[in-house]
Chains A and B, each alone.
Chain A
Amino acid sequence: MNDYLRIACQQVREDIVTMIHHAGSGHPGGSLSAVELLVALYQGGVLKHDASNPAWDGRDRFILSKGHVAPVLYSVLARSGYFSVDELSTLRELGSILQGHPHMECTPGLDCSSGSLGQGLSIANGLAMAFKKRSLSNRVYCLMGDGELQEGQIWEAAMTSAHFKLDNLCAIVDYNHVQLDGTTEEIKDLGDLQMKWASFGFHVIDIDGHQMEEVLGAYAEAMTVKGKPSVIIANTVKGKGVSFMENKCEWHGQAPNAGQWLAALTEILS
Protein backbone atom coordinates (compact mmCIF):
# COMPACT_ATOMS: atom_id res chain seq x y z
CA MET A 1 0.00 0.00 0.00
CA ASN A 2 2.66 2.48 1.00
CA ASP A 3 4.69 1.74 -2.13
CA TYR A 4 1.60 2.44 -4.17
CA LEU A 5 1.02 5.69 -2.29
CA ARG A 6 4.68 6.68 -2.62
CA ILE A 7 4.44 6.32 -6.39
CA ALA A 8 1.13 8.17 -6.36
CA CYS A 9 2.80 11.07 -4.56
CA GLN A 10 5.57 11.13 -7.15
CA GLN A 11 2.97 11.24 -9.91
CA VAL A 12 1.09 14.09 -8.24
CA ARG A 13 4.32 16.09 -7.85
CA GLU A 14 4.98 15.62 -11.58
CA ASP A 15 1.46 16.80 -12.35
CA ILE A 16 1.85 19.87 -10.16
CA VAL A 17 5.03 21.21 -11.75
CA THR A 18 3.83 20.27 -15.23
CA MET A 19 0.41 21.87 -14.99
CA ILE A 20 1.75 25.06 -13.42
CA HIS A 21 4.49 25.22 -16.06
CA HIS A 22 1.87 24.86 -18.82
CA ALA A 23 -0.41 27.44 -17.22
CA GLY A 24 2.44 29.90 -16.78
CA SER A 25 1.17 30.80 -13.32
CA GLY A 26 0.05 29.08 -10.15
CA HIS A 27 1.28 28.02 -6.74
CA PRO A 28 3.83 25.18 -6.69
CA GLY A 29 5.30 25.63 -3.20
CA GLY A 30 2.22 24.97 -1.09
CA SER A 31 0.93 22.39 -3.57
CA LEU A 32 4.08 20.30 -3.19
CA SER A 33 4.04 20.52 0.62
CA ALA A 34 0.49 19.11 0.79
CA VAL A 35 0.98 16.10 -1.52
CA GLU A 36 1.18 13.33 1.08
CA LEU A 37 -1.72 14.87 3.05
CA LEU A 38 -4.07 14.72 0.06
CA VAL A 39 -2.85 11.46 -1.49
CA ALA A 40 -3.37 9.71 1.86
CA LEU A 41 -6.83 11.23 2.15
CA TYR A 42 -8.13 10.38 -1.33
CA GLN A 43 -6.09 7.33 -2.25
CA GLY A 44 -5.13 5.90 1.12
CA GLY A 45 -8.65 4.85 2.06
CA VAL A 46 -9.24 7.67 4.54
CA LEU A 47 -11.94 9.68 2.77
CA LYS A 48 -15.19 7.87 1.95
CA HIS A 49 -15.81 8.90 -1.65
CA ASP A 50 -16.83 7.55 -5.04
CA ALA A 51 -15.36 9.11 -8.16
CA SER A 52 -18.13 7.59 -10.29
CA ASN A 53 -20.69 9.42 -8.17
CA PRO A 54 -19.26 12.80 -7.06
CA ALA A 55 -22.60 13.90 -5.57
CA TRP A 56 -23.02 10.76 -3.42
CA ASP A 57 -24.70 11.92 -0.21
CA GLY A 58 -22.81 9.39 1.87
CA ARG A 59 -19.39 10.79 0.97
CA ASP A 60 -17.07 12.50 3.39
CA ARG A 61 -16.26 16.11 2.50
CA PHE A 62 -12.98 17.85 1.91
CA ILE A 63 -12.66 21.62 2.07
CA LEU A 64 -9.47 23.09 0.66
CA SER A 65 -9.32 26.28 2.69
CA LYS A 66 -5.97 27.26 1.18
CA GLY A 67 -7.54 27.35 -2.27
CA HIS A 68 -4.41 28.58 -4.07
CA VAL A 69 -2.94 25.07 -3.92
CA ALA A 70 -5.70 23.87 -6.26
CA PRO A 71 -3.13 22.04 -8.47
CA VAL A 72 -2.44 19.38 -5.83
CA LEU A 73 -6.15 18.76 -5.36
CA TYR A 74 -6.85 18.73 -9.11
CA SER A 75 -4.11 16.18 -9.65
CA VAL A 76 -5.37 13.96 -6.82
CA LEU A 77 -8.96 14.20 -8.10
CA ALA A 78 -7.87 13.33 -11.64
CA ARG A 79 -5.72 10.44 -10.44
CA SER A 80 -8.70 9.26 -8.36
CA GLY A 81 -10.85 9.14 -11.48
CA TYR A 82 -13.06 12.22 -11.13
CA PHE A 83 -12.04 13.49 -14.57
CA SER A 84 -9.47 12.80 -17.28
CA VAL A 85 -5.83 13.42 -16.44
CA ASP A 86 -5.64 15.22 -19.81
CA GLU A 87 -7.72 18.03 -18.30
CA LEU A 88 -4.80 18.97 -16.04
CA SER A 89 -3.07 20.68 -18.94
CA THR A 90 -5.98 23.16 -19.20
CA LEU A 91 -5.38 24.62 -15.73
CA ARG A 92 -6.25 28.34 -15.56
CA GLU A 93 -7.33 28.51 -19.22
CA LEU A 94 -10.53 30.17 -20.37
CA GLY A 95 -13.35 27.63 -20.25
CA SER A 96 -11.33 25.05 -18.31
CA ILE A 97 -12.96 22.89 -15.65
CA LEU A 98 -9.88 23.77 -13.58
CA GLN A 99 -10.13 27.37 -12.39
CA GLY A 100 -7.16 29.15 -10.84
CA HIS A 101 -8.76 28.64 -7.48
CA PRO A 102 -11.31 25.86 -6.82
CA HIS A 103 -14.83 26.42 -8.15
CA MET A 104 -17.19 23.66 -7.19
CA GLU A 105 -19.52 24.23 -10.11
CA CYS A 106 -16.70 23.61 -12.60
CA THR A 107 -14.77 20.65 -11.25
CA PRO A 108 -16.23 17.21 -10.50
CA GLY A 109 -15.32 16.12 -6.97
CA LEU A 110 -14.94 19.56 -5.44
CA ASP A 111 -17.01 20.00 -2.29
CA CYS A 112 -16.71 23.78 -2.09
CA SER A 113 -15.18 26.77 -3.85
CA SER A 114 -12.37 28.50 -2.02
CA GLY A 115 -9.61 30.98 -2.47
CA SER A 116 -10.40 33.83 -0.12
CA LEU A 117 -8.27 32.70 2.81
CA GLY A 118 -9.63 32.00 6.26
CA GLN A 119 -13.08 30.77 5.31
CA GLY A 120 -12.70 27.01 4.97
CA LEU A 121 -12.89 25.91 8.59
CA SER A 122 -16.21 27.74 9.08
CA ILE A 123 -17.64 25.96 6.04
CA ALA A 124 -16.34 22.62 7.31
CA ASN A 125 -17.98 23.33 10.67
CA GLY A 126 -21.31 23.98 9.00
CA LEU A 127 -21.09 20.71 7.10
CA ALA A 128 -20.12 18.82 10.26
CA MET A 129 -23.09 20.38 12.07
CA ALA A 130 -25.45 19.46 9.25
CA PHE A 131 -24.27 15.83 9.37
CA LYS A 132 -24.80 15.70 13.13
CA LYS A 133 -28.26 17.27 12.84
CA ARG A 134 -29.16 14.68 10.22
CA SER A 135 -27.61 11.87 12.34
CA LEU A 136 -25.24 10.96 9.51
CA SER A 137 -21.78 9.50 10.03
CA ASN A 138 -20.06 11.51 7.26
CA ARG A 139 -16.80 13.13 8.26
CA VAL A 140 -15.39 16.49 7.18
CA TYR A 141 -11.75 17.34 6.47
CA CYS A 142 -10.36 20.84 6.06
CA LEU A 143 -6.84 21.71 4.92
CA MET A 144 -5.49 25.09 5.95
CA GLY A 145 -2.19 26.79 5.25
CA ASP A 146 -0.07 28.01 8.13
CA GLY A 147 0.05 31.58 6.82
CA GLU A 148 -3.71 31.40 6.55
CA LEU A 149 -3.91 31.06 10.33
CA GLN A 150 -3.21 34.79 10.45
CA GLU A 151 -6.84 35.29 9.37
CA GLY A 152 -9.05 35.98 12.38
CA GLN A 153 -11.96 33.97 11.05
CA ILE A 154 -9.93 30.76 11.51
CA TRP A 155 -9.95 31.31 15.25
CA GLU A 156 -13.62 32.23 15.33
CA ALA A 157 -14.19 28.94 13.54
CA ALA A 158 -11.88 27.04 15.89
CA MET A 159 -14.04 28.18 18.81
CA THR A 160 -17.10 27.03 16.92
CA SER A 161 -15.66 23.56 16.20
CA ALA A 162 -14.87 23.05 19.87
CA HIS A 163 -18.02 24.62 21.29
CA PHE A 164 -20.25 22.39 19.20
CA LYS A 165 -18.05 19.33 19.89
CA LEU A 166 -17.60 18.57 16.21
CA ASP A 167 -15.76 15.25 16.51
CA ASN A 168 -16.69 14.46 12.91
CA LEU A 169 -14.32 17.23 11.87
CA CYS A 170 -10.61 16.86 11.18
CA ALA A 171 -8.67 20.05 10.53
CA ILE A 172 -5.22 19.85 8.95
CA VAL A 173 -2.54 22.54 9.04
CA ASP A 174 0.09 22.39 6.31
CA TYR A 175 2.86 23.77 8.52
CA ASN A 176 5.57 24.66 6.01
CA HIS A 177 6.58 27.97 7.63
CA VAL A 178 6.60 29.92 4.36
CA GLN A 179 4.07 32.42 3.01
CA LEU A 180 4.13 34.77 0.04
CA ASP A 181 6.27 37.56 1.47
CA GLY A 182 8.60 35.47 3.62
CA THR A 183 8.60 33.00 6.49
CA THR A 184 5.68 32.95 8.89
CA GLU A 185 8.16 33.79 11.62
CA GLU A 186 9.18 36.99 9.80
CA ILE A 187 5.74 38.09 8.60
CA LYS A 188 3.60 37.30 11.63
CA ASP A 189 4.76 34.59 13.97
CA LEU A 190 2.20 31.88 14.65
CA GLY A 191 3.63 31.17 18.09
CA ASP A 192 3.12 27.75 19.63
CA LEU A 193 0.63 26.17 17.25
CA GLN A 194 0.18 22.98 19.24
CA MET A 195 -0.65 24.96 22.37
CA LYS A 196 -2.91 27.32 20.45
CA TRP A 197 -5.08 24.59 18.94
CA ALA A 198 -5.10 22.61 22.20
CA SER A 199 -6.21 25.66 24.16
CA PHE A 200 -8.99 26.21 21.64
CA GLY A 201 -10.27 22.73 22.52
CA PHE A 202 -8.84 20.56 19.76
CA HIS A 203 -7.26 17.13 19.99
CA VAL A 204 -3.84 17.90 18.50
CA ILE A 205 -1.86 15.40 16.44
CA ASP A 206 1.66 16.48 15.53
CA ILE A 207 3.31 14.67 12.61
CA ASP A 208 5.85 14.77 9.82
CA GLY A 209 3.56 15.58 6.93
CA HIS A 210 5.76 13.85 4.39
CA GLN A 211 5.91 10.45 6.15
CA MET A 212 3.00 8.48 4.73
CA GLU A 213 2.77 6.15 7.76
CA GLU A 214 2.50 9.12 10.09
CA VAL A 215 -0.08 10.83 7.89
CA LEU A 216 -2.26 7.72 7.70
CA GLY A 217 -1.81 7.17 11.44
CA ALA A 218 -2.91 10.73 12.17
CA TYR A 219 -6.11 10.38 10.13
CA ALA A 220 -6.84 7.07 11.89
CA GLU A 221 -6.24 8.62 15.31
CA ALA A 222 -8.54 11.56 14.53
CA MET A 223 -11.35 9.12 13.76
CA THR A 224 -11.16 7.67 17.27
CA VAL A 225 -11.49 11.01 19.08
CA LYS A 226 -14.89 11.62 20.64
CA GLY A 227 -16.46 14.84 21.91
CA LYS A 228 -13.96 17.23 20.37
CA PRO A 229 -12.58 18.15 16.97
CA SER A 230 -9.11 17.09 15.89
CA VAL A 231 -6.34 19.00 14.19
CA ILE A 232 -3.35 17.45 12.47
CA ILE A 233 -0.36 19.75 12.53
CA ALA A 234 1.59 18.44 9.59
CA ASN A 235 5.19 19.61 9.64
CA THR A 236 6.06 19.98 5.99
CA VAL A 237 8.55 21.58 3.60
CA LYS A 238 7.31 24.17 1.16
CA GLY A 239 8.21 23.06 -2.36
CA LYS A 240 8.98 19.52 -1.11
CA GLY A 241 10.66 17.29 -3.70
CA VAL A 242 12.14 20.04 -5.85
CA SER A 243 15.33 21.19 -4.17
CA PHE A 244 15.46 24.66 -5.69
CA MET A 245 11.87 25.32 -4.63
CA GLU A 246 12.20 24.04 -1.08
CA ASN A 247 11.69 26.63 1.68
CA LYS A 248 11.75 29.48 -0.83
CA CYS A 249 8.96 32.04 -0.59
CA GLU A 250 9.69 32.96 -4.22
CA TRP A 251 8.10 29.65 -5.20
CA HIS A 252 4.89 30.36 -3.34
CA GLY A 253 3.26 31.60 -6.50
CA GLN A 254 5.58 31.35 -9.49
CA ALA A 255 5.56 29.03 -12.49
CA PRO A 256 8.72 27.13 -13.50
CA ASN A 257 10.07 27.98 -16.95
CA ALA A 258 11.00 25.17 -19.36
CA GLY A 259 14.45 24.60 -17.90
CA GLN A 260 13.20 24.70 -14.32
CA TRP A 261 10.34 22.40 -15.20
CA LEU A 262 12.70 19.76 -16.65
CA ALA A 263 15.03 20.09 -13.68
CA ALA A 264 12.05 19.66 -11.34
CA LEU A 265 10.79 16.59 -13.19
CA THR A 266 14.26 15.02 -13.14
CA GLU A 267 14.46 15.44 -9.38
CA ILE A 268 10.96 14.15 -8.74
CA LEU A 269 11.56 11.06 -10.88
CA SER A 270 15.02 10.27 -9.51
Chain B
Amino acid sequence: MNKVPMRDGYGQALLKLIEKNNNVIAMDADVSKSTRTEWVRKKYPDNFINMGISEQDMLGTAAGLALGGMIPFATTYCVFLAGRAWDQIRTTVCYNQLNVKLAGAHAGISVGPDGATHQSLEDVALMRVLPHMTVIVPCDAIETEKATIAIADREGPCFIRFGREAVPVITNLETEFQIGKANVMRGGTDVVLFANGGMVHEGLQAAERLAKEGIELKVVNLHTVKPLDVESVILFALQTGAVVTAEEHQIHGGMGSAVAECLIQHAPVPMQIVGIRDTLGESGKPEQLMNKYGLSVEDICDAVRKVNRKKGEAR
Protein backbone atom coordinates (compact mmCIF):
# COMPACT_ATOMS: atom_id res chain seq x y z
CA MET B 1 0.00 0.00 0.00
CA ASN B 2 1.18 3.48 -0.89
CA LYS B 3 2.49 5.35 2.16
CA VAL B 4 2.64 9.15 2.35
CA PRO B 5 3.18 11.48 5.34
CA MET B 6 0.04 13.44 6.17
CA ARG B 7 2.05 16.66 6.36
CA ASP B 8 2.56 16.37 2.60
CA GLY B 9 -1.19 16.72 2.27
CA TYR B 10 -1.05 19.75 4.54
CA GLY B 11 1.64 21.41 2.43
CA GLN B 12 -0.23 20.70 -0.80
CA ALA B 13 -3.41 22.16 0.63
CA LEU B 14 -1.67 25.37 1.68
CA LEU B 15 -0.34 25.85 -1.86
CA LYS B 16 -3.81 25.34 -3.31
CA LEU B 17 -5.39 27.68 -0.77
CA ILE B 18 -2.92 30.50 -1.40
CA GLU B 19 -3.28 30.13 -5.16
CA LYS B 20 -6.94 31.03 -4.70
CA ASN B 21 -6.77 33.41 -1.75
CA ASN B 22 -3.84 35.74 -1.14
CA ASN B 23 -5.04 36.36 2.43
CA VAL B 24 -3.98 32.87 3.50
CA ILE B 25 -0.71 33.07 5.47
CA ALA B 26 1.39 30.07 6.51
CA MET B 27 3.17 30.68 9.80
CA ASP B 28 5.83 28.49 11.34
CA ALA B 29 8.07 28.44 14.39
CA ASP B 30 11.37 27.30 12.84
CA VAL B 31 10.26 23.81 11.83
CA SER B 32 9.03 24.65 8.33
CA LYS B 33 11.04 21.89 6.66
CA SER B 34 9.30 19.32 8.85
CA THR B 35 5.81 20.75 8.64
CA ARG B 36 6.01 21.46 4.87
CA THR B 37 5.21 25.15 5.25
CA GLU B 38 8.60 25.48 3.57
CA TRP B 39 6.77 24.67 0.35
CA VAL B 40 4.87 27.93 0.82
CA ARG B 41 8.07 29.86 1.51
CA LYS B 42 9.53 28.59 -1.76
CA LYS B 43 6.49 29.23 -3.95
CA TYR B 44 4.74 32.14 -2.22
CA PRO B 45 7.33 33.85 0.03
CA ASP B 46 4.99 36.79 0.74
CA ASN B 47 2.47 34.37 2.23
CA PHE B 48 4.94 32.81 4.64
CA ILE B 49 6.02 34.10 8.03
CA ASN B 50 8.68 32.36 10.08
CA MET B 51 8.20 33.46 13.68
CA GLY B 52 11.31 31.78 14.99
CA ILE B 53 11.23 29.64 18.11
CA SER B 54 8.41 31.48 19.87
CA GLU B 55 5.12 29.64 19.72
CA GLN B 56 3.23 31.91 22.11
CA ASP B 57 4.22 34.95 20.10
CA MET B 58 3.22 33.10 16.92
CA LEU B 59 -0.29 32.56 18.23
CA GLY B 60 -0.66 36.18 19.32
CA THR B 61 0.62 37.36 15.97
CA ALA B 62 -1.76 34.99 14.21
CA ALA B 63 -4.58 36.55 16.22
CA GLY B 64 -3.50 40.01 15.07
CA LEU B 65 -3.28 38.86 11.45
CA ALA B 66 -6.80 37.46 11.71
CA LEU B 67 -8.03 40.74 13.21
CA GLY B 68 -6.42 42.42 10.21
CA GLY B 69 -8.36 40.29 7.73
CA MET B 70 -5.89 37.48 7.03
CA ILE B 71 -6.36 33.71 7.41
CA PRO B 72 -3.26 32.56 9.29
CA PHE B 73 -2.29 28.88 9.57
CA ALA B 74 -0.11 28.71 12.68
CA THR B 75 2.00 25.60 12.28
CA THR B 76 4.52 23.81 14.45
CA TYR B 77 5.08 20.58 16.35
CA CYS B 78 1.79 19.74 17.97
CA VAL B 79 2.94 19.68 21.58
CA PHE B 80 4.39 23.20 21.38
CA LEU B 81 1.28 24.52 19.67
CA ALA B 82 -1.60 23.05 21.65
CA GLY B 83 0.37 22.84 24.88
CA ARG B 84 2.77 25.72 25.09
CA ALA B 85 0.49 28.32 23.52
CA TRP B 86 -2.74 27.12 25.12
CA ASP B 87 -3.56 30.32 27.01
CA GLN B 88 -2.95 32.38 23.88
CA ILE B 89 -5.28 30.07 21.96
CA ARG B 90 -7.91 30.17 24.69
CA THR B 91 -7.97 33.80 25.69
CA THR B 92 -7.15 35.53 22.45
CA VAL B 93 -8.13 33.18 19.60
CA CYS B 94 -11.17 31.39 21.05
CA TYR B 95 -12.57 34.18 23.26
CA ASN B 96 -12.64 36.47 20.22
CA GLN B 97 -13.65 33.64 17.86
CA LEU B 98 -10.83 34.68 15.55
CA ASN B 99 -10.29 33.07 12.19
CA VAL B 100 -7.01 31.40 13.16
CA LYS B 101 -6.14 27.91 11.93
CA LEU B 102 -3.86 25.70 13.99
CA ALA B 103 -1.88 22.82 12.53
CA GLY B 104 -0.07 20.47 14.90
CA ALA B 105 2.53 18.32 13.16
CA HIS B 106 4.43 15.34 14.58
CA ALA B 107 1.52 14.46 16.83
CA GLY B 108 1.18 11.13 18.61
CA ILE B 109 3.60 8.55 19.95
CA SER B 110 4.72 7.36 16.50
CA VAL B 111 6.95 10.43 16.12
CA GLY B 112 9.39 8.02 17.76
CA PRO B 113 13.05 8.52 18.65
CA ASP B 114 12.82 12.13 19.86
CA GLY B 115 11.06 10.82 22.95
CA ALA B 116 8.46 12.13 25.34
CA THR B 117 9.15 15.86 24.97
CA HIS B 118 8.15 15.75 21.30
CA GLN B 119 5.28 13.27 21.49
CA SER B 120 1.99 15.15 21.63
CA LEU B 121 -0.49 12.90 23.43
CA GLU B 122 -2.73 15.50 25.08
CA ASP B 123 -3.49 18.01 22.32
CA VAL B 124 -6.92 16.72 21.33
CA ALA B 125 -8.06 17.03 24.95
CA LEU B 126 -6.56 20.51 25.24
CA MET B 127 -8.20 21.76 22.06
CA ARG B 128 -11.50 19.92 22.46
CA VAL B 129 -12.22 21.64 25.76
CA LEU B 130 -12.00 25.11 24.20
CA PRO B 131 -15.26 26.83 23.24
CA HIS B 132 -15.63 27.63 19.51
CA MET B 133 -12.76 25.30 18.53
CA THR B 134 -13.12 22.77 15.70
CA VAL B 135 -10.89 19.69 16.14
CA ILE B 136 -9.93 17.41 13.25
CA VAL B 137 -7.68 14.34 13.14
CA PRO B 138 -7.38 13.14 9.53
CA CYS B 139 -6.43 9.56 8.63
CA ASP B 140 -4.10 9.94 5.65
CA ALA B 141 -2.42 12.47 3.35
CA ILE B 142 -5.40 12.84 1.03
CA GLU B 143 -7.78 13.45 3.90
CA THR B 144 -5.31 15.89 5.48
CA GLU B 145 -5.34 17.92 2.29
CA LYS B 146 -9.13 17.95 2.19
CA ALA B 147 -9.38 18.79 5.88
CA THR B 148 -6.93 21.68 5.57
CA ILE B 149 -8.92 23.15 2.70
CA ALA B 150 -12.14 22.61 4.65
CA ILE B 151 -10.96 24.45 7.77
CA ALA B 152 -9.85 27.41 5.65
CA ASP B 153 -13.46 27.76 4.52
CA ARG B 154 -14.83 27.38 8.03
CA GLU B 155 -15.09 30.66 9.95
CA GLY B 156 -13.45 30.64 13.38
CA PRO B 157 -10.72 28.75 15.22
CA CYS B 158 -9.88 25.29 13.85
CA PHE B 159 -7.27 22.74 14.88
CA ILE B 160 -5.88 19.91 12.79
CA ARG B 161 -3.25 17.40 13.95
CA PHE B 162 -1.19 14.83 12.10
CA GLY B 163 1.81 12.58 12.66
CA ARG B 164 5.26 12.57 11.11
CA GLU B 165 5.46 9.05 9.71
CA ALA B 166 4.35 8.08 6.24
CA VAL B 167 1.05 6.26 6.67
CA PRO B 168 -0.94 4.14 4.21
CA VAL B 169 -3.25 6.08 1.92
CA ILE B 170 -6.66 4.56 2.61
CA THR B 171 -8.96 7.19 1.10
CA ASN B 172 -9.06 8.51 -2.44
CA LEU B 173 -10.01 11.73 -4.15
CA GLU B 174 -13.63 10.60 -4.32
CA THR B 175 -13.95 9.75 -0.61
CA GLU B 176 -16.30 12.23 0.97
CA PHE B 177 -14.89 14.58 3.58
CA GLN B 178 -17.20 16.82 5.50
CA ILE B 179 -16.33 18.48 8.83
CA GLY B 180 -18.44 16.88 11.52
CA LYS B 181 -19.51 13.87 9.43
CA ALA B 182 -18.15 10.41 10.24
CA ASN B 183 -17.06 8.13 7.38
CA VAL B 184 -17.92 4.43 7.38
CA MET B 185 -14.80 2.65 6.09
CA ARG B 186 -16.04 -0.93 6.48
CA GLY B 187 -19.42 -2.41 7.28
CA GLY B 188 -19.97 -4.75 10.24
CA THR B 189 -22.72 -5.74 12.64
CA ASP B 190 -21.11 -7.02 15.85
CA VAL B 191 -19.05 -4.12 17.15
CA VAL B 192 -18.36 -0.58 15.89
CA LEU B 193 -14.85 0.88 16.02
CA PHE B 194 -14.53 4.66 15.96
CA ALA B 195 -10.95 5.49 15.01
CA ASN B 196 -9.09 8.54 13.73
CA GLY B 197 -5.64 9.44 12.44
CA GLY B 198 -3.32 6.54 11.68
CA MET B 199 -5.48 4.27 13.85
CA VAL B 200 -8.09 4.03 11.12
CA HIS B 201 -5.75 1.88 9.06
CA GLU B 202 -4.92 -0.20 12.13
CA GLY B 203 -8.64 -0.62 12.68
CA LEU B 204 -9.20 -1.90 9.14
CA GLN B 205 -6.48 -4.48 9.68
CA ALA B 206 -8.04 -5.48 12.97
CA ALA B 207 -11.38 -5.93 11.20
CA GLU B 208 -9.81 -8.40 8.76
CA ARG B 209 -8.22 -10.38 11.56
CA LEU B 210 -11.47 -10.46 13.57
CA ALA B 211 -13.53 -11.51 10.58
CA LYS B 212 -11.60 -14.79 10.59
CA GLU B 213 -12.81 -15.33 14.14
CA GLY B 214 -16.38 -14.60 13.15
CA ILE B 215 -16.58 -11.07 14.59
CA GLU B 216 -17.82 -8.49 12.10
CA LEU B 217 -16.29 -5.11 12.99
CA LYS B 218 -17.72 -1.92 11.57
CA VAL B 219 -14.90 0.61 11.11
CA VAL B 220 -15.78 4.30 11.22
CA ASN B 221 -13.35 7.14 10.58
CA LEU B 222 -14.28 9.74 13.18
CA HIS B 223 -11.98 12.43 11.82
CA THR B 224 -13.87 15.30 13.44
CA VAL B 225 -13.65 15.11 17.21
CA LYS B 226 -15.46 18.44 17.59
CA PRO B 227 -18.18 19.02 16.55
CA LEU B 228 -18.82 15.33 17.11
CA ASP B 229 -21.10 13.50 14.69
CA VAL B 230 -23.49 12.66 17.51
CA GLU B 231 -26.08 11.19 15.17
CA SER B 232 -23.71 8.63 13.66
CA VAL B 233 -22.12 7.76 17.01
CA ILE B 234 -25.52 6.99 18.55
CA LEU B 235 -26.86 5.21 15.46
CA PHE B 236 -23.86 2.87 15.05
CA ALA B 237 -23.68 2.20 18.80
CA LEU B 238 -27.34 1.15 18.83
CA GLN B 239 -26.97 -0.87 15.62
CA THR B 240 -24.05 -2.93 16.91
CA GLY B 241 -24.53 -2.70 20.68
CA ALA B 242 -20.82 -2.41 21.44
CA VAL B 243 -18.24 0.34 20.85
CA VAL B 244 -14.45 0.55 20.69
CA THR B 245 -12.52 3.74 20.05
CA ALA B 246 -8.89 3.95 18.93
CA GLU B 247 -6.67 7.00 18.79
CA GLU B 248 -2.99 7.93 19.10
CA HIS B 249 -3.63 10.07 22.17
CA GLN B 250 -4.12 9.79 25.92
CA ILE B 251 -7.26 7.86 26.82
CA HIS B 252 -8.19 10.84 29.00
CA GLY B 253 -9.95 13.66 27.19
CA GLY B 254 -9.51 12.53 23.60
CA MET B 255 -11.87 11.23 20.93
CA GLY B 256 -12.76 8.20 23.06
CA SER B 257 -13.81 10.52 25.86
CA ALA B 258 -15.92 12.52 23.42
CA VAL B 259 -17.67 9.35 22.25
CA ALA B 260 -18.14 8.16 25.84
CA GLU B 261 -19.66 11.50 26.87
CA CYS B 262 -22.11 11.19 24.03
CA LEU B 263 -23.03 7.55 24.60
CA ILE B 264 -23.50 7.76 28.36
CA GLN B 265 -26.15 10.41 27.76
CA HIS B 266 -27.90 8.91 24.75
CA ALA B 267 -27.07 5.25 24.17
CA PRO B 268 -25.03 3.57 26.90
CA VAL B 269 -23.50 0.37 25.52
CA PRO B 270 -20.38 -1.60 26.50
CA MET B 271 -17.32 0.40 25.44
CA GLN B 272 -13.52 0.12 25.37
CA ILE B 273 -11.06 2.96 24.73
CA VAL B 274 -7.79 2.17 22.97
CA GLY B 275 -5.19 4.88 23.59
CA ILE B 276 -2.17 5.80 25.66
CA ARG B 277 -2.91 4.80 29.23
CA ASP B 278 -2.03 7.83 31.37
CA THR B 279 1.70 7.91 30.74
CA LEU B 280 4.28 9.92 28.84
CA GLY B 281 6.22 8.11 26.13
CA GLU B 282 9.88 7.36 25.49
CA SER B 283 12.31 7.02 22.60
CA GLY B 284 11.99 4.15 20.19
CA LYS B 285 11.05 3.14 16.67
CA PRO B 286 7.45 4.07 15.79
CA GLU B 287 6.29 0.47 15.53
CA GLN B 288 7.94 -0.51 18.81
CA LEU B 289 6.24 2.41 20.55
CA MET B 290 2.83 1.63 19.08
CA ASN B 291 3.18 -1.91 20.43
CA LYS B 292 4.53 -0.96 23.84
CA TYR B 293 1.88 1.68 24.45
CA GLY B 294 -1.06 -0.46 23.44
CA LEU B 295 -1.90 0.89 19.99
CA SER B 296 -1.25 -2.19 17.84
CA VAL B 297 -3.73 -4.05 15.66
CA GLU B 298 -3.78 -6.79 18.29
CA ASP B 299 -4.63 -4.27 21.01
CA ILE B 300 -7.65 -3.17 19.00
CA CYS B 301 -8.62 -6.82 18.44
CA ASP B 302 -8.41 -7.48 22.20
CA ALA B 303 -10.62 -4.50 22.96
CA VAL B 304 -13.17 -5.64 20.38
CA ARG B 305 -13.23 -9.21 21.72
CA LYS B 306 -13.64 -7.91 25.25
CA VAL B 307 -16.48 -5.56 24.42
CA ASN B 308 -18.16 -8.21 22.27
CA ARG B 309 -18.14 -10.61 25.24
CA LYS B 310 -19.56 -7.91 27.51
CA LYS B 311 -22.32 -7.33 25.03
CA GLY B 312 -23.24 -11.01 25.31
CA GLU B 313 -23.20 -10.82 29.10
CA ALA B 314 -25.38 -7.70 29.09
CA ARG B 315 -27.99 -9.53 27.10
Contacts and interface: CB of A to CB of B under 8 A. Distances in A.
Interface of A: 61, 103-105, 111-116, 118-131, 133-134, 152-153, 156-157, 159-160, 163
B51 to A, nearest CB: 7
B60 A130 contact: no
Given A153-B57, A156-B54, A160-B57, A126 B62 contact: yes
A126 B61 contact: yes
B65 A122 contact: no
B243 interface: no
Contacts of B72: 126
Q: B-side binding surface: helix, strand, loop or mixed?
A: helix
A126 B66 contact: yes
A122 B63 contact: yes
Contacts of B51: 160
Interface stretch (B86-94, B138-146, B212-220): B86-94
Contacts of B92: 112-114, 116, 119, 123
A131 B59 CA distance: 18
Interface in B67-91: 67-70, 72, 87-88, 91
A126 B63 contact: yes
Contacts of A153: 54, 56-57, 60, 88
B49 interface: yes
B52 interface: yes
- Size band of the B side of the interface? 20 to 34
Contacts of B96: 104-105, 112-113
A122 B60 contact: yes
Interface string B93-129: 0011100000000000000000000000000000000
A126 B87 contact: no
A39 B231 CA distance: 54
B56 A156 contact: yes
Given A116-B87, A122-B88, A156-B56, 18 more contacts: A103-B95, A112-B67, A116-B88, A116-B92, A121-B60, A125-B64, A126-B62, A126-B65, A126-B66, A126-B67, A126-B72, A128-B64, A130-B64, A130-B70, A153-B88, A156-B57, A157-B61, A159-B57
A133 B70 contact: yes
Nearest to A122: B60
Contacts of A112: 63-64, 67, 92, 96
B91 A119 contact: yes
B56 A130 contact: no
